[in-house]
Amino acid sequence: MLEVKKIELQDEKNIDDSKTRSSGSTTLDDIEQFESDLWQAADNLRANSKLTSSDYFMPVLGVIFLRHATNRFNVAHRQIEADQANGRMPKRKVLPADYIARRALYLPEDAQYDWIMQQASIGGADLPKLITSAMTAIEESFEPLDGVLPKDYGIFETKVLEDLMRLFNSELIKNASGDVFGRIYEYFLAKFSIQKAHDNGEFFTPSSIVQTIVNVIEPDHGTILDPACGSGGMFVQSSHFIEHEGGDTAKKVVFYGQEKNRDTIRIAKMNLAVHGLEGKIAEAITYYEDEHTLVGKCDFVMANPPFNVDLVDAKRVEGDPRLPFGLPGVNKDKKVSNGNYLWISYFWSYLNNKGRAGFVMSSQASSAGHGEKDVRQKIVETGDVDVMISIRSNFFYTRSVPCELWFFDRGRPSERKNKVLMLDARNVYRKVTRKIFDFSPEQMKNLAAIVWLYRGQQNRFLMLVKEYLSYVCAESAFIPRALASFDSTLFDLLGSFDLLAKALAKNTNIDTEQKKILSGAVTQLRETSTLYKADAQRLLSNLAAYSEKYGSAPLPDNKSQHTARRTFDPITETIRGLMKQVDLLYKLTARAADLGSLLAADESISASYDRRGTLRLVKKLEEERKTAVEQLKHAIYFHRQVAWLQDRFPDAVLADVPGLVKLVDHKDIENAEWSLAPGLYVGVAPPEVDEDFDFEQTLRDIHTEMVDLNKEAAELAAKIQENFEGMGI
């Protein structure tokens, strides 16, 4: 039997969604379900009140913030007590700064979530007043949050507010780590964005886009600026990156931001605080104001600016030192014809001579003509355009258009100064809903790995492949447990069907043909089970042998990694076959149980055959089937990541891959009218056969799409009815 062991695939600080599965552990699936349940419960409260999403938005984020602040305070308080007890800290009066040093806010008793809930349980407490007072107390004790936290809790009906507070007062929430809370906060931001609850949702950049930018520019030191900072996601993801690399964000970087919307600044400051971070965020219109005076001083610039703005006053920006390449064009109304290249120029200008920038930009900008082309040519000729990545449509919540990620590197070596890495990632995506796509964690890593090869960092590429191969072993180690549960329930069901067969053999009242049908179904089930057991045992033996050989092998070089991958290739075929067998066994079992239920109507049969107990076992078997199949898929999944990288870059060096990537020089770009659209250079990928096509997942996707369409239809019908009533029709 293959040894069942737990191998950690991520630490808490890593945003990587790779899953760890062991008895009693919290998996990503658990967290995702938890987030979904929280949102549904909170949204139901809103639906049962007179509040709109816009009303509800900030107070809900405030409740999440308050709960998280209390959690952090409690952890820091325990750390301080322990430090004083063991002599690491003098036994003196504890100061607010002692909590700040442990990335927690000092909270007076009446600002602590638990104390507020205790008062609410007594009865007669003015809950809106208590929460508002708590927010005021936090602002008074932590200057960066002054005037930021929501205090309009009087808009809630008492019961609705109490239910909302109790929702975030479960034991699971009380014990949640900082990272889990960060996820919850970002999840709620995303959901409110989808609802267009605030400023048309433009305050939130999807985390997979932000993390892709972070993965390429690697902001790990110095001054980081986001001049269109929205909810501060660029800062949060930068912090995750730094801490995953073992650094301390507070000691490594300083965050600066500008944002024109005052409410969005509040969201950003809360977002930073809920992650234990601080930033200097100014209220400013970046087209006309440079509040932090950081031209030429930034180590990293990151942003998702507004696209295609055509209302910028040309006279006000003329001569701005942040526009060294000139204006991209002025229309008859004396407005800049398109603001895209204002932003692009700003990002370049803010960088110091070794700085890097990564930002989102409209796809139109890559090939725009006239004055925009002139500016683009000048920027290319600086030698600082480093990487271009095309992103397909539907990655954003409030706009469906495709976009591109631009990357500058003003400190890259001379041998790359006249080259640009063109990466077309439009065929790389994961479907989240009918309307929303994103990158999986592994897709983001794989795209980053291409950039590593471009930068000559082969060792990082090989380390990623090694990581995936270790995940193959780790995930394989959970297969025996998943199959054992399935096997045990299947064994119990076969025993139940044996009892049914014996009862039928003694019964002369039941039609012979019915007996024959059931007998055939059970025989087919047993024959299939016998084949399955042999194949499962062979698979487990192969996995054990593979794990023994490669589970702790160094695999430091490309050749040994290819050998490890090829060794697992035939095992993947066995796994795919076993998945089909597991599915078939469940279907045959369910069929036999259905036939048994019909025959068990006879009292002489029901006395020997527990129909209800059998159906419960069938339901249990279905859950165990899902678990077993998912676990089998996980091992294949990580093997597929290895194959994806090795098939495209077999020598672990950068190579042109049709439809994906091409390294071009400035002459190529000049010949293409200075276009920076990757699709123009990489060509078209050859068609691929998807060996891992998941029919059931496809059906689930179709079902999800139907649910979304039905929901939209119901909302539209309600809106039409409301309009008719308003017209008196």
Query: Who contacts 679 (Cβ-Cβ below 8 Å, separation ≥6)?
Result: 390, 424, 426
pLDDT of residue 19: 39
Task: Please calculate the CA angle 187-192-195 and round it to the nearest 5 degrees.
Answer: 130
Q: What is the distance between the alpha carbons of residues 636 and 634, in angstroms, rounded to a whole number?
A: 5
Average pLDDT, the chain: 86
Q: What is the distance between the alpha carbons of residues 307 and 342, in angstroms, rounded to a whole number?
A: 11
Instruction: Report pLDDT digits (tens) over 163-212.
Output: 888 888 888 888 776 667 777 777 787 777 666 544 444 557 888 899 99
Q: Is the pLDDT of residue 23 over 50?
A: no
Lowest mean pLDDT among 370-374, 680-684, 688-692: 688-692
SS3 for 541-556 is HHHHHHHHHHCCCCCC
Residues 253 and 219: beta-carbon distance below 8 Å: yes
Instruction: Report pLDDT digits (tens) over 425-443.
Output: 999 999 877 777 889 999 9
Q: Is the pLDDT of residue 592 over 50?
A: yes
* Tokens at 424, concatenated: 């077309």
Please report which confidence band the pLDDT of residue 25 belongs to, taking 50, 70 and 90 as the band edges.
very low
Please report which confidence band the pLDDT of residue 704 belongs to, taking 50, 70 and 90 as the band edges.
low
pLDDT of residue 202: 57
Residues 489 and 617: beta-carbon distance below 8 Å: yes
Give the CA diameter of the chain: 101
* Tokens at 476, concatenated: 């394989």
pLDDT of residue 715: 65
Q: What is the distance between the alpha carbons of residues 232 and 313, in angstroms, rounded to a whole number?
A: 27
Q: Is the pLDDT of residue 317 over 60?
A: yes
Residues 41 and 51: beta-carbon distance below 8 Å: no
Q: What percent of the chain has pLDDT over 70?
A: 87
Instruction: Report pLDDT digits (tens) over 663-683.
Output: 999 999 999 999 999 999 999
Which neighbouring-strand residues pair with 420?
664
Q: What is the distance between the alpha carbons of residues 335 and 466, in angstroms, rounded to a whole number?
A: 54
Query: Who contacts 255 (Cβ-Cβ below 8 Å, separation ≥6)?
Result: 224, 226, 232, 235, 238, 272, 277, 278, 279, 280, 281
Torsion of CA 388, 394, 396, 400, to 10 degrees: 100
Query: Who contacts 226 (Cβ-Cβ below 8 Å, separation ≥6)?
Result: 232, 234, 235, 255, 256, 257, 258, 301, 302, 303
| Residue located via tokens 């796509």 | 437
pLDDT of residue 197: 42
Q: What is the mean pLDDT of residues 518-538?
A: 93
pLDDT of residue 497: 87
Residues 249 and 239: beta-carbon distance below 8 Å: yes
- What CA–CA distances, in Å, run from 139 to 131, 147, 250, 299, 645? 13, 7, 20, 31, 50
- What CA–CA distances, in Å, run from 321 to 55, 279, 295, 345, 469? 41, 25, 8, 10, 50
Please report which confidence band the pLDDT of residue 700 belongs to, taking 50, 70 and 90 as the band edges.
low
Q: Is the pLDDT of residue 6 over 50?
A: no
Please report which confidence band the pLDDT of residue 22 belongs to, taking 50, 70 and 90 as the band edges.
very low
Q: Is the pLDDT of residue 15 over 60?
A: no
pLDDT of residue 3: 32
Highest mean pLDDT among 144-153, 186-195, 293-302, 325-334: 293-302
Instruction: Report pLDDT digits (tens) over 460-491.
Output: 999 999 999 999 999 999 999 999 999 999 99
Q: Is the pLDDT of residue 275 over 90?
A: no
Q: Is the pLDDT of residue 708 over 70?
A: no
Q: Is the pLDDT of residue 12 over 60?
A: no
Q: What is the distance between the alpha carbons of residues 443 and 455, in angstroms, rounded to a whole number?
A: 19
Q: What's CA 36's distance to the chain center, in Å? A: 13
Please report which confidence band the pLDDT of residue 711 belongs to, taking 50, 70 and 90 as the band edges.
low
pLDDT of residue 712: 66
Please report which confidence band the pLDDT of residue 13 belongs to, taking 50, 70 and 90 as the band edges.
very low
Lowest mean pLDDT among 185-189, 343-347, 376-380, 469-473: 185-189
Residues 641 and 475: beta-carbon distance below 8 Å: no
Q: Could you give the 3-state DSSP secondary structure of residue 92?
A: coil
Helix (H) or strand (E) segment spanning residue 58: helix 53-85
* Tokens at 255, concatenated: 């965050």
Q: Is the pLDDT of residue 389 over 70?
A: yes
Query: Who contacts 697 (Cβ-Cβ below 8 Å, separation ≥6)?
Result: none
Q: What percent of the chain has pLDDT over 90?
A: 54
Helix (H) or strand (E) segment spanning residue 581: helix 558-599
Torsion of CA 710, 714, 716, 721, to 10 degrees: 160
Please report which confidence band the pLDDT of residue 444 belongs to, taking 50, 70 and 90 as the band edges.
very high
Q: What is the distance between the alpha carbons of residues 145 and 279, in angstroms, rounded to a whole number?
A: 11
pLDDT of residue 703: 60
Query: Who contacts 64 (Cβ-Cβ below 8 Å, separation ≥6)?
Result: 168, 181, 184, 185, 188, 274
Residue in 354, 385, 556, 387 with CA at minimum distance from that of residue 458: 556
Q: Could you give the 3-state DSSP secondary structure of residue 226?
A: strand
Q: How many CA atoms lie within 13 A of 158 on its CB side?
A: 9
Q: Is the pLDDT of residue 342 over 60?
A: yes
Q: What is the mean pLDDT of residues 631-658?
A: 97
- What CA–CA distances, in Å, run from 619 to 119, 528, 622, 623? 44, 19, 5, 7
pLDDT of residue 500: 84
Query: Who contacts 397 (Cβ-Cβ below 8 Å, separation ≥6)?
Result: 190, 193, 194, 201, 204, 206, 436
Q: DSSP letter at 366?
A: G
Burial of 93 (0-12, 13-18, 19+ CB in 10 A): exposed
Q: Is the pLDDT of residue 59 over 90?
A: no
pLDDT of residue 131: 93
Higher pLDDT, 647 or 119: 647
Instruction: Report pLDDT digits (tens) over 89-112.
Output: 888 888 888 888 787 888 989 999
| Helices assigned H by DSSP within 455-511 | 458-476, 479-506
Q: What is the distance between the alpha carbons of residues 399 and 363, in angstroms, rounded to a whole number?
A: 13
Residues 485 and 626: beta-carbon distance below 8 Å: no
Q: What is the pTM of this model?
A: 0.83
